[in-house]
Amino acid sequence: MQTIAHWLDGKAFAGTSEATAPVTNPATGVVTGQVALANVADTRAAIDAAADAFPAWRDTSLARRTQILFRFRELLNERKEELAQLITAEHGKVLADAMGEVSRGLEVVEFACGVPHLLKGGYTENASTKVDIFSIRQPLGPVAVISPFNFPAMVPMWFFPLAIAAGNTVVLKPSEKDPSASLWLARLWDEAGLPAGVFNVVQGDKVAVDELLDNPAIKAVSFVGSTPIAQYVYQRGTAAGKRVQALGGAKNHMVVLPDADLDLAADAAVNAGFGSAGERCMAISVVVAVAGAGDELVGKITERATTIKTGDGTRDADMGPLVTRAHRDRVAEYIAAGESAGATVVLDGRGIDADGESDGFWLGPTILDHVGTDMSVYTDEIFGPVLSVVRVDTYDDALALINANPYGNGTAIFTNDGGAARRFHNEVEVGMVGINVPIPVPMSYYSFGGWKNSLFGDSHAHGADGVHFFTRGKAVTTRWLDPSHGGLNLGFPENK
């Protein structure tokens, strides 16, 4: 059985800790490997490698950095099927979905290839008499990326291409549930010509995370995960003086107005609710049916959901298993709780006959209608293939429902009324909004991030926000020697 190790200073590193965790194929329930769990010494070794590599990488020309990024982009594009297969084997999502994940991460790499333009400063000549001022943006130093299980390739690629392009060095701490993608990416960086120590991987759990948050050599932390852990990462990291962007959980609502194309809305609800078995921070988990749209809409959603084929992601399946047995059982408990609280179980995925091994972590598409806002299936982030339908009387009721929710990651409205759509994107308190688009994940040149309890920190991921997060500004004021400026003057400098 393979042991999935760390990567530091340009090579695999077994570490000094004997602690490991099992890595399981969710479609079979079979343990396929053991991932090393770093102790403090192992984590510090990765941080030290990043710190040692930083001065030379910081001083590497933008031209050279860009050449390496372009090479990494080409290698990733050529071999993306290989990475997708690795993701499916450890996460469980179907191959087509894994390919989509890699492609969206690739977009950020491509965006980072244009970093010379994004790092341009400003220059003012003769701001004061014979005094010039210019501004520059410089890298921070070693930075940490702590990524979740649901996107083992895409989420790290939201961050590390821009961090590296800007001149920082990186320590990536992936999820211990599907750790192999991180090592695959590390080897690809090595092949692309990235100097040793610029990109490092430390496998582990809370021990590794806490060292990354506390160690003074780490200057910034990027995190994606649940809201309680995001808040913990933000508080502990900022207490240690670090810059932190911590993206948390979600409860994404999709409002359907009576004038909407209900066939389009039903397609969108199914695709956005059950893709990747609902294990997406941008998944639609609540459909808000306004006025008379409810009955027909629920019927159309159910009709489509019953055609979804659940099974092994390497076979002809639409939806794969959940990531672990414990998570599968937890989601099933939410369904039972919703039923007990009075929700109508329109489609029950707990007894699904999946196209896969009997020990796989299967749970089929589930639809709960007449869900109340006090039910746990509504209040909690379930992170599974469970779609809750809440019925309201008016647009204003739907808006108030969303704005009262503690999460503010993504939302959508389906309507043919342009006025209602404009009101919605103006009034809704959510960071990413879709108009007849159920999963409004922006392109890489726009920022990704939510509001309220879906984000801790003031910087979103990728786009110009990402460049800004991984750099800091410096203003330089210059005056070359001129006898007319000599002499003592203890007054505050004036511009003349």
Spatial neighbors of 55 by CB under 8 A, at least 6 apart, are none
Q: 346-398, pLDDT tens digit by residue?
A: 999 999 999 999 999 999 999 999 999 999 999 999 999 999 999 999 999 99
Alpha helices in 199-347 (DSSP H): 206-214, 227-239, 262-274, 294-305, 325-340
Q: Look up the pTM and report it.
A: 0.95
What confidence score (pLDDT) does residue 461 get?
Answer: 94
313, 340: one domain: yes
259, 391: one domain: yes
What number is the average pLDDT over the span 280-300?
96
Mean pLDDT of the chain: 96
422, 470: one domain: no
344, 241: one domain: no
What confidence score (pLDDT) does residue 493 get?
Answer: 77
Tokens of 448: 């990704």
Number of C-beta neighbours around residue 64 at 10 A: 12
**Residue 89: which CATH number?**
3.40.605.10
What confidence score (pLDDT) does residue 271 get?
Answer: 97
d(CA 172, CA 133): 37
54, 160: one domain: yes
What number is the average pLDDT over the span 24-51?
98
In a domain, residue 367? The reply is yes
Q: Is the pLDDT of residue 457 over 70?
A: yes
What confidence score (pLDDT) does residue 483 get?
Answer: 64
Listed residues 435, 468, 486: the one ending a domain: 435
236, 89: one domain: yes
Q: Is the pLDDT of residue 452 over 80?
A: yes
102, 224: one domain: yes
235, 108: one domain: yes
**Is residue 113 annotated as part of the catalytic site, yes or no?**
no
What confidence score (pLDDT) does residue 176 get?
Answer: 97
What number is the average pLDDT over the span 118-128?
94
**Catalytic, out of 281, 317, 402, 455:** 281
Q: Is the pLDDT of residue 495 over 90?
A: no
Range of the domain at 216: 3-248+454-476
Q: Tokens 């993701």 label which residue? A: 87
265, 381: one domain: yes
What number is the average pLDDT over the span 45-72?
98
What number is the average pLDDT over the span 106-110?
97
Q: How many CA atoms lie within 13 A of 450 on its CB side?
A: 28
Total count of domains within the chain: 2
Q: 21-32, pLDDT tens digit by residue?
A: 999 999 999 999
Residue 73 belongs to what H/E stretch?
helix 62-78
d(CA 84, CA 353): 25
- SS3 of the chain: helix, strand, coil, percent, to 5: 40, 25, 35
What confidence score (pLDDT) does residue 492 get?
Answer: 78
Q: 467-492, pLDDT tens digit by residue?
A: 999 999 999 999 987 666 667 777 77
